[in-house]
Amino acid sequence: GAGVSQSPSNKVTEKGKDVELRCDPISGHTALYWYRQSLGQGLEFLIYFQGNSAPDKSGLPSDRFSAERTGGSVSTLTIQRTQQEDSAVYLCASSASGREETQYFGPGTRLLVL
Amino acid sequence: AQTVTQSQPEMSVQEAETVTLSCTYDTSESDYYLFWYKQPPSRQMILVIRQEAYKQQNATENRFSVNFQKAAKSFSLKISDSQLGDAAMYFCAYRSMLGSQGNLIFGKGTKLSVKP
């Protein structure tokens, strides 16, 4: 079946602009995660959605970052007033349920803030 | 807080040979999961192998096997009969079984090169 998909594949934006990154999880997966991969910080957890529960936002680096998940499926990660340090690859993953399932990753969105 | 350490930023192996990638972790928990993920230049993270901490038997997936030493908090990956397609970044990851902590905690990765 189809895997996790993300769009766009690459995004170039100017400092101060807002960006939206999209993630389509594997159909039927109730858990969805966002991670950020940067040269300096490695792979960092950002946010976790599980079913209809309140999301775990403990990894979001600032209030410029937010995410939502509509209808328990598609998720959008929004970065407001982008900064150069936001340049990174943003990875989305989904799993069949919560803690006990393997996470399957999408191909990521590479964000470059000029 | 849990941490994962991969002490080898880069490794190289000859095609058809065997290579071992190291991973250590720190946790006060007794039940957890450990993973090895592969990330080729395409950026897609691919699950290589998974180990549940309560299982004493080391996980194996074809040419990939782990040496899980729970007391030493060590989780190394052995790749046998290395192939050119094995060249990639390899990440070791930890996942708690407690509470609502569903996220993975990753090491910094090891870049594996395979020489023909």
Q: What is the pLDDT of residues B65-101, one digit of tens each?
A: 999 999 999 999 999 999 999 999 999 999 988 766 6
Q: Contact at 8 Å (CB) between B66 and B78?
A: yes
Neighbour count for residue B74 (Cβ, 10 Å)? 14
Contacts of residues B46-52 at CB distance under 8 Å and 24 or more positions apart, as own/partner, are B46/A105, B47/A102, B47/A103, B47/A104, B48/B77, B48/B90, B49/B77, B50/A102, B51/B75
Neighbour count for residue B40 (Cβ, 10 Å)? 13
Q: What does chain B come to in residues?
A: 116
Q: Where are the domains of chain A?
A: 5-75+88-100
Secondary structure of A20-79 in HEC code, one letter for each residue: EEEEECCCCCCEEEEEEEECCCEEEEEEEEECCCCCECCCCCCCCEEEEECCCCCEEEEE
How close does chain B come to A53, measured CA to CA in Å? Answer: 10
Q: Contact at 8 Å (CB) between B33 and B54?
A: no
Q: Which of the 8 DSSP states describes residue A98?
A: S
Residues of B with CB under 8 A from a CB of A: 35, 37, 42-47, 50, 91, 95-97, 100-109
Domain A5-75+88-100, what architecture?
Answer: Sandwich (2.60)
Q: Contact at 8 Å (CB) between A24 and A4?
A: yes
| 8 Å CB contact of A106 and B44 | yes
| 8 Å CB contact of B43 and A43 | no
Q: What span, in angstroms and rounded, lies between the C-alpha atoms of A72 and B63?
A: 37
| 8 Å CB contact of B35 and A105 | no
Q: Could you give the percent of chain A with pLDDT greater than 90?
A: 76
Average pLDDT in the A79-102 region?
A: 89
> What is the pLDDT, as a whole number, of residue A22?
97
How close does chain B come to A102, measured CA to CA in Å? Answer: 8
A contacts of B106 (beta carbons < 8 Å): 42-43
Taking CA atoms, what residue in A is nearest to B93?
A43
Average pLDDT in the B58-63 region?
A: 93
Task: Give A82's pLDDT tier (boundaries 50, 70, 90).
Answer: very high
Would you call B6 helix, strand, or coil by DSSP? coil
Contacts (Cβ under 8 Å, ≥6 apart) of A62: none
How many beta-carbon pairs below 8 A join chains A and B?
60
Question: What domains can you pick out in chain B, each with its CATH number?
Answer: 3-115 (2.60.40.10)
Q: What would the pLDDT profile of A23-75 be if each residue is shown by its tens digit?
A: 999 998 989 999 999 987 789 999 999 888 889 999 999 999 999 998 879 99
A contacts of B4 (beta carbons < 8 Å): none
Q: What would the pLDDT profile of B35-53 be if each residue is shown by its tens digit?
A: 999 999 888 899 999 999 9
Question: Average pLDDT of chain B?
Answer: 93
Task: Give B63's pLDDT tier (boundaries 50, 70, 90).
Answer: very high
Q: Which of B5, B33, B43 to mutate to test the interface with A (most CBs of A within 10 A)?
A: B43
Q: What span, in angstroms and rounded, lies between the C-alpha atoms of B40 and A82?
A: 28
> What is the pLDDT, as a whole number, of residue A98?
61
